[in-house]
Amino acid sequence: MFGAVLILAAAAVTVTVHAQPSPDVQKGIAKAIKNAKNGGKVTDFTAFVNPFIGTDNFGDVCPGASVPFGMVKVTTDNTGYAPAGYVADNTQFIQGVSPLHDSGTGSSLGSYGNFKIMPQFCPGGFNTCKTILSQRQRLRKNNTDFASPGYFAQTLDNDIKIEATATRRAALERFTFPEGTPFFSVDLGNDSPLSFGGGSLDFDPAAGRIKIGGRWRPSFGPSLFFYQAFACYDILDNGKQTLGEFGVWTADNFGMDAKALGQTHLNLSINLIGSSPYQSGALFSLAGNPSEVNIRVGVSFVSADQACQNAETEIGMSSFEEIQDLAVSQWNDKLSRIELDVARSAPNITEIFYSSYYRSFLTPNNATGEGSGAFAGTTSPYFDSLYCSWDTFRTWAPLLSLTSPVDYAEVVENYIDGWRKNGVIPECRSNQLPGWTQGGSDGTNILADFAVKYHAEAASLGVDLNEMFTALLSDGEENPPEWNTGGRQINVYKAHGFVPFAAFDATSTGRQTREGSRTLEYAMNDFGIRQVAQVLGHADEVTTYTNRSTWFKNVWDPTVKSDGFEGFMQKRFGNGTFKNLNPVDCSPLDTNSSRACSLTQDNQNGFYESSSWEYSFFAPQDMATLVDLMGGNETFVKRLDHFFNKGYYLAGNEPSFGTPSAYHYADHPAKSVQRGRQVLFENFDITAGGLPGNDDQAAMATFAAFHILGLFPIPSTTQFLIISPFVPSYTVHNPHLGVSTTVTVDGFDPASVKRNIPDGAAAYVANVTVNGVPSVTGRCFIDFFDTFKKGGNITITVTSNMDEADSCEGSLPDSLSTGGWASAR
């Protein structure tokens, strides 16, 4: 959970949800659902999306105007805790609207927010305008916040309305003034975290063009690094607007407010004495008192000239409505790839699903053609904001695999290109720069997930699997000199069979904490390498990495006890002895609210943002071994029940993602159904605070989406656990393969779609057929190649008899120790 970098202790947080966005958002969704229920054909899937879900309760979702995987996510920038720019809290002030944001990342200071533009009234002319953030900021007019895919709107408390729509690298902004002369300030130095490291601004009054560029620090990476970004504002609307007064300005929080009427250039360096950088930018008005103003902005990571070119190419002379229509079309292409039976589904489930599915396409940001630094001029796809593979390999990548292999291949090629350029597979890319590694090198599992599902199509999709495998072996065998921002501490891991505590490491540098969780993640990374070796027929590497995939057992201490249960994962010294710590530490029940649990040097817990109670259930590649270590099926089930009932479970934390469905591995799949219902309804809803915390670059979104579909993925494999869908049927389309797969729930009971399944409600899986034939894998899991790869029909028959359905009928999901994944499909 990347957002927890600002909450170093694991104490529970009580959050008050603030005022919700405009009621028109919900009214529009309700109207679209009513139309579907009345027999209308669904053609606009964007109508079911609520972009404001997750804009409160530390969800960090950006509701701004964007296209799928767009670099541009244009929204307002609010005061207070607002990593994504916008927050639903109507007590926070608006300081401008800007084109660059990330969604679902929890840096406390925010990410991007560069190149703000702020509309305002200046009754006394140029020199009376408010330029400094604290003086120009305004509250919103309540109940005016509105967004839909490709569109964002908000009205300030002075009745100036802001609207925006977007393309991949540009935005069109429309401002409506109730009266008077429109003035605008445009920022050079004010990004969200105020990390300006120098830059320039040039105002061409004849062309009505403002070029801006500079350097800023990343939001989740070393402060020694700087990224570059550029913008190009065209303010005359292709000759339809006339420039009035213009100039530039600089200011600070201590009385400096210097404006230069008629001046057109700023060139500012980093402020080496420290403190906040100067606030600075351009200031202008438009003549003739136009009530409606259109302003175009392009962005680039290469140059200001390229930012101008991006705006000209992607927007040009098009109207606001034309650009918005293009954005909606792109969103419908993505959202229509999973068609729920909206007419027979619960309205809140429809809204949660499509809002979640929408967010799965918000990130990462497709910055192809915008590579800088090591990626300057790369011919490969280039994606910014990979926050972080630790978050996204579990559910985000597998959901993408169901419908969108072309997009998936571009992301994968981007990972491989990261290895080409920097020598390591990217783990986290923050503002175009290497970000912090949280667990292992979890990009390996994203590559593996693609390879096992699309190895036959990989070459035609632009992915060289042999080169991928070379990159994976590099990750598994070569120790980078510095592994805080990429790669693994492989040398000591290989020497001991686990990541030891207090190890002597003479050849590499990194934060030697999180020894327990890093061992567990490293073993999962090795499983990913093993899977690709198997696809490519490399028998020796299959043997080596199968063995290393089981090293999670090496940090299991059978002597540790907690709440009456024996055996927990623990960090371990190089001599083999364990550093016994309380498994409750860093859990929601930890009474030490100041305990360090994240990336800080004083994290002595041995786990990243988790407790041993939580991470002890993490071994997706070999859950059968975990069941045995914990005492067998019945003890494992009791322990899982206790984990949830006592309050150790954290829905907003990725290591817990697999626990609601872990009952499958103890041959009690019906209990997974019960737990899945409970988890979704307790943690997800349709309000602004409707996420259990930071969306983590759509990790939460895709976790919720899978549960609604009644499936759960095993990363780096072709298997999906069958839980129980929340909807009567849905169809998954894979346009590249030209196949569609319809999942039908025979006996679907709407009464079962509740937190607690009522007695007599049919929810439990009795049997599964694929294209009319009983599933060869039974009723607990299906394989991608038997289903979504070939298309057809999956029928899940449900029953109200929990006891009858509470077994896998002899066919448990695969585990390495039971001979699972013995061959590639």
State the CATH number of the domain containing residue 622.
Answer: 1.50.10
Helix orientation angle between 320-335 and 347-359, rounded to the nearest 10 degrees: 110
Same domain, 380 and 271: no
Same domain, 320 and 375: no
Q: How many whole angstroms separate alpha carbon 756 and alpha carbon 412?
A: 40
Same domain, 116 and 244: yes
661 falls within a domain:
yes
Q: How many whole angstroms separate alpha carbon 529 and alpha carbon 545?
A: 7
Range of the domain at 214: 23-333
511 falls within a domain:
yes
Predicted confidence at residue 20, as pLDDT, reads 63
Four-residue CA torsion sign, 480, 482, 487, 491: positive
Q: Where are the alpha helices (DSSP H) in 478-622?
A: 490-496, 515-536, 539-549, 612-615
User: Is 582:573 a contact under the CB 8 Å cutoff?
Assistant: no
CB burial string 742-771: b at 16+ within 10 A, e below: bbbbbebbeebbeeebeeebbbbbbbbbbe
Same domain, 329 and 358: no
CB burial string 30-52: b at 16+ within 10 A, e below: eebbebbeeeeebebbbbbbbbb
345 falls within a domain:
yes
201 falls within a domain:
yes
773 falls within a domain:
yes
Last residue of a domain, one of 309, 333, 357: 333
476 falls within a domain:
yes
Last residue of a domain, one of 306, 333, 360: 333
Q: How many whole angstroms separate alpha carbon 152 and alpha carbon 137?
A: 19
Same domain, 266 and 353: no
Same domain, 757 and 704: yes
Four-residue CA torsion sign, 786, 789, 790, 793: positive
User: What total number of domains does the chain contain?
Assistant: 2
520 falls within a domain:
yes
Same domain, 103 and 123: yes
Side chain identity at 403, as an amino acid letter?
T
Element (H, E) at 176: strand 170-176
Predicted confidence at residue 106, as pLDDT, reads 72
pTM: predicted TM-score of the whole model, two decimal places: 0.96
User: Is 615:643 a contact under the CB 8 Å cutoff?
Assistant: no
- Read off the CATH number of the domain in which 213 is found: 2.70.98.10
Last residue of a domain, one of 308, 333, 358: 333
Query: Which residue, chain included where needed, has tokens 């140059």?
Result: 303
For 446-501, how does the pLDDT look when each residue is reduced to its tens digit (9 = 90+)?
999 999 999 999 999 999 999 999 999 999 999 999 999 999 999 999 999 999 99
Element (H, E) at 196: strand 196-204
Determine the Cα angle at 288 with ends 285 and 290, to 5°: 80
292 falls within a domain:
yes
User: Is 407:459 a contact under the CB 8 Å cutoff?
Assistant: no
Ranges assigned E (strand) in 240-392: 243-251, 257-261, 265-269, 279-286, 292-300, 338-340, 365-366, 383-384
Same domain, 384 and 313: no
Same domain, 321 and 419: no
Q: Which residues of the chain have pLDDT under 50?
A: 1-17
Determine the Cα angle at 156 with ends 110 and 191, to 5°: 25
Same domain, 264 and 410: no
Same domain, 381 and 235: no
Helix and strand counts by DSSP (H, E) for the chain? 19, 31
**Which SS3 state, helix, strand or coil, does residue 730 take?**
strand
Cβ-based neighbour number of residue 252 at 10 Å: 16
Same domain, 405 and 291: no
User: Is 767:703 a contact under the CB 8 Å cutoff?
Assistant: no
Q: How many whole angstroms separate alpha carbon 144 and alpha carbon 156?
A: 9
4 Cβ contact list (under 8 Å, min separation 6): 106, 597, 598, 609, 653, 693, 694
Predicted confidence at residue 108, as pLDDT, reads 65
